[in-house]
Amino acid sequence: MRIGVFICHCGKNIAGVLDIKRLVEEAAKLKDVAYATDYVYLCSEPGQKEIQQKIKELELTHVVIAACSPKMHATTFARAVEEVGLNPYLLEIANIREQCSWVHHDAPEEATEKALEIIRAAVAKVSLAKPLAPITVPLTRKVLVIGGGIAGIQAALDIANGGFEVYLVERSPSLGGHMAQLSETFPTLDCSSCILTPRMVEVARHPNIHLFTYAEVKNVEGIVGQYKVTIEQKPRYVDPDKCTGCGDCAEACPVIVPNEFDQGLGARKAVYVPFPQAVPLVYTIDLEHCLNTKRLIVCEQCYHACGPKAINYLMEPKEIEIEVGAIVLATGYDLLPLEALKEYGGGIYPDVLSGLEFERLLSASGPTGGIVRRPSDGKIPKRVVFIQCAGSRDPEHGCPYCSKICCMYTAKHALLYKHAVPDGEAYVFYIDVRAAGKRYEEFVQRVMEEERIVYLRGKVSKVFQRKDKLVVWGVDTLSGMAVEIEADMVVLATAIVPSKNTADLAKLLKAPIDEFGFLNEVHPKLRPVESSAMGIYLAGAAQAPKDIPDTVSQASAAASKVLGLFSQEELSLEPIKAEVNLENCDGCAYCVDVCPFDAITLVVEEDGHKHVEVKKALCQGCGCCMATCPKEGINVAGFTLNQLKAQIHALLKEDEDD
């Protein structure tokens, strides 16, 4: 056995702290190490060449690379050693950057000792490594896209146009998501529906897209390449094949309820389409408000009004089973409820609105026909105060993060308000204006300069009602003055939070979420659209607050990842999988219970002999089975018990026999 140890400087990241010379000297002395060296950037082209050359020249059989986290460059180095004929599983990465030099920069001597231990452990582990070959599994080249907002629409269209079948599932009765609710979009002031609805129609007509609206994903089983998905189609009580979207049913319906699409500022009937451009244009009976119940039909107004006899009160939920190879999560966002902002009277004063509510008031198709009116009395507000960071950047009362889109939409709101009410006054309270985006800063400047909107630098402390006005107590830290404004309307740029059910869905898919419930990407810079659950891709605000351009970009990126995956006929998977040692396994089946992926089954042979069996495609190599097995009867390839023991003994500086 001839092990080569390569130690990376990573510029000053490692060499600035650790004593590289000493590391090389000590590494060279380790058992079975034939060669040890260092290099300034091993991940660079010449660095990789150096490794390859030494493998050939010195006939190295195993390699340890002491550098950054394997999350960063394990694949890079694996590819490099493979090119010169070394099995990539005979390579071990010793992480002396994230786990050593970065965290111990204030104690270089001790850090060097620790780095040495990390290298020693890696050498011990790799010396027991066996060559492994990737395994192949079948790949169903169809994709499930969850969420029918602009993110889901874009991802679905890109993948469908790439020639693969797409199942698009949307929870509400129509495609469109929040973008359909917006009046105009910054910084170009395109009408939101005008640019969105053609896309919605395209989805509905696309031969490669199976559209399920008013439907939810109930269950997902399996792994990348072969997911089994159960979709529940909720009953609309209107036959979509017969409904012509004429609206006679809604006209006849006696029940009036607040329209969610108008954020409750407008009304709809119990049988409804959320908005006139809905796709599909099929009416839905909302049984929660309909006078009829599952057991008792007391009103048949819509039934009698419907020409094509599409109404069917007896419709049942339907389960649809599909098989897909990949899933795109595009579940979008919600707003922090106004009620969370008690000091601003959120949820108490009718004229304290959220940004989305204000969008509906600005929208030509909104409840007021685009005339900005106060919900309380229908009057046109002559003085509007906009409060940014309402719950954002506020770890104490809301969310610590910046919601990213509010600076821009608030500027847009102020501008659109001035256009709608030219003699009105608009004031914007802000902490910082974050307008990083193409033509964003220019847009904000234009709003200030041309519309003469006063931006006050400071956060509002309290809003309360005085007669028919809202008194706003704010501050302008630039002039050093506390400020009081008597406003007719207050618009809060409430924080963006993940849409409800995102967490449940993530749990079902074993896709990690962050502490706020947003979906987590594998790597924030290098793998921003993939979940660490393989085969799951992320698009839009479900991953983090995003505006439309960023959402569309990410959706296209997720689509391109799916298309990349689908460019293969079958799927090659890492061989880091559990393997049963039939000599030791006695079929006690402890491992069956602990396996989080249901990858292990108990087999009883005809002679009564019992042992377990691993479905390689399902196994994720987590090692729960190996840790549970009392008999060393199951091992994860590449991370066998013996390898881990050797690693630990090396760290403890013990001989293995001790």
Partner 1 sequence: METISTNKEKRSTKLRLVLKKQEDWLKKVEEISGQNVFACYQCGKCSAGCPMSAEMDLLPNQVIRLLQLGAVEPLLNCRTIWLCASCFTCTARCPKGVSLTRLMEGVRLAIFRTRKSDEISPKEMVKETLPQIALIGALRKLTA
Partner 2 sequence: MEIAYFPGCTLKTTAKKLEDSALAVADALDINLKELPNWTCCGTVYSLAEDDLMRQVAPIRTLARTEALGYSTLTTLCSVCYNTLAQANLFVKADSIRLEKINNFMDEEPDYKGNVEVKHFLTILQELGTEKLKSAVKKDLSGLKVACYYGCLLLRPQSVGIDDCEQPYILENIMQALGTKPVFFPYQVECCGSYHTAVKPEIVARRVYRILENARENGANLVVTSCPLCYFNLKNRQKEIKKLYPGFKPMPIFYFTEIMTDAFGLTKTLENI
- Residue 480 binds partner 1 (CB under 8 A): yes
Residue 467 binds which one of partner 2, partner 1, none, with CB within 5 to 8 A depending on kind? partner 2
Residue 110 binds which one of partner 1, partner 2, none, with CB within 5 to 8 A depending on kind? none
Closest CB to partner 2 among residues 102, 473? 473
| Minimum distance from residue 337 beta carbon to partner 1 (Å) | 17
Residue 348 binds which one of partner 2, partner 1, none, with CB within 5 to 8 A depending on kind? partner 2
| Minimum distance from residue 107 beta carbon to partner 1 (Å) | 25
CA distance 594 to 623: 10
- Residue 342 binds partner 2 (CB under 8 A): yes
Closest CB to partner 1 among residues 298, 436? 436
Pick the stretch among 28-36, 123-131, 388-396, 620-628 that binds partner 1 (CB under 8 A).
388-396
Residue 361: how many CB atoms within 10 A of its CB?
Answer: 29
CA angle in degrees (0–180, nearest 5) for 244-232-506: 125
Residue 102 binds which one of partner 2, partner 1, none, with CB within 5 to 8 A depending on kind? none
Return all residues near 324 (Cβ < 8 A) that are at least 6 apart.
140, 142, 143, 144, 167, 227, 229
Closest CB to partner 1 among residues 189, 483? 483
Cα 208 from chain centre: 24
Give yes or no for a contact between 19 and 108, defined as CB atoms under 8 angstroms apart. yes
Closest CB to partner 1 among residues 462, 523? 462
- Among 459, 616, 645, 649, the residue binding partner 1 under the rule CB under 8 A is 459
Strands 165-169 and 209-212: parallel
- Among 466, 524, 607, 655, the residue binding partner 2 under the rule CB under 8 A is 466
- Residue 465 binds partner 2 (CB under 8 A): yes
Please give the C-alpha separations between residue 75 and each of 69, 88, 92, 259, 616, in angstroms, as whole numbers.
Answer: 11, 9, 11, 51, 21
Q: Which ranges of 510-640 would DSSP assign to H, the alpha helix?
A: 548-565, 590-594, 624-628
Pick the stretch among 67-75, 473-481, 554-562, 609-617 that binds partner 1 (CB under 8 A).
473-481
Residue 394 binds which one of partner 1, partner 2, none, with CB within 5 to 8 A depending on kind? partner 1
In sequence order, the β-bridge partners of residue 437 are: none
Within 345-374, the residues that bind partner 1 by CB under 8 A are none
Largest CA-CA distance found in the chain, in angstroms, rounded: 91
Pick the stretch among 26-34, 165-173, 347-355, 472-480 that binds partner 1 (CB under 8 A).
472-480
| Minimum distance from residue 410 beta carbon to partner 1 (Å) | 15
Within 414-433, the residues that bind partner 1 by CB under 8 A are 427, 431
CA distance 535 to 576: 17
Pick the stretch among 35-43, 75-83, 151-159, 464-472 that binds partner 2 (CB under 8 A).
464-472
**What is residue 144's three-state secondary structure?**
strand
CA distance 627 to 636: 10
CA distance 437 to 44: 32
- Residue 319 binds partner 2 (CB under 8 A): no
| Minimum distance from residue 427 beta carbon to partner 1 (Å) | 7
- Residue 397 binds partner 1 (CB under 8 A): yes
- Residue 161 binds partner 2 (CB under 8 A): no
| Minimum distance from residue 462 beta carbon to partner 2 (Å) | 8
- Among 107, 482, 602, 627, the residue binding partner 1 under the rule CB under 8 A is 482
**What is residue 640's three-state secondary structure?**
coil
Residue 465 binds which one of partner 1, partner 2, none, with CB within 5 to 8 A depending on kind? partner 2
- Residue 486 binds partner 2 (CB under 8 A): no
- Residue 376 binds partner 2 (CB under 8 A): no
Give yes or no for a contact between 65 and 38, defined as CB atoms under 8 angstroms apart. no
CA distance 176 to 203: 11
Exposure letters 291-326 (e unless 16+ CB within 10 A, then b): ebeeeeeebebbbebbeeebbbbebeeeeeebebbb
Within 259-318, the residues that bind partner 2 by CB under 8 A are none
Pick the stretch among 35-43, 401-409, 458-466, 573-581 that binds partner 1 (CB under 8 A).
458-466
CA distance 137 to 76: 24
Pick the stretch among 228-236, 326-334, 448-456, 465-473 that binds partner 2 (CB under 8 A).
465-473
Pick the stretch among 1-9, 129-137, 236-244, 458-466 that binds partner 2 (CB under 8 A).
458-466
CA distance 293 to 347: 31
- Among 102, 473, 516, 590, the residue binding partner 1 under the rule CB under 8 A is 473
- Over 55-94, what HEC string results? HHHHCCCEEEEEECCHHHHHHHHHHHHHHCCCCHHHEEEE
- For helices 108-126 and 20-29, give the axis angle rounded to 10 degrees: 30
Instruction: Tell me which H or E stretch contains 190.
Output: strand 190-191
Closest CB to partner 1 among residues 175, 493? 493
- Over 535-555, what HEC string results? CEEECHHHCCCCCHHHHHHHH
| Minimum distance from residue 474 beta carbon to partner 1 (Å) | 5
| Minimum distance from residue 567 beta carbon to partner 1 (Å) | 47
Residue 466 binds which one of partner 2, partner 1, none, with CB within 5 to 8 A depending on kind? partner 2
Count of residues engaged in binding partner 2, rule: CB under 8 A: 9
Closest CB to partner 1 among residues 12, 342? 342
- Among 177, 474, 498, 621, the residue binding partner 1 under the rule CB under 8 A is 474
Return all residues near 586 (Cβ < 8 A) that are at least 6 apart.
610, 611, 631, 633
**What is residue 35's three-state secondary structure?**
strand
Residue 431 binds which one of partner 2, partner 1, none, with CB within 5 to 8 A depending on kind? partner 1
Q: Which residues bind partner 1 (CB under 8 A)?
A: 343, 389, 393-398, 427, 431, 454, 457-462, 473-477, 480-486
Q: Which residues bind partner 2 (CB under 8 A)?
A: 342-343, 348, 462, 464-467, 471
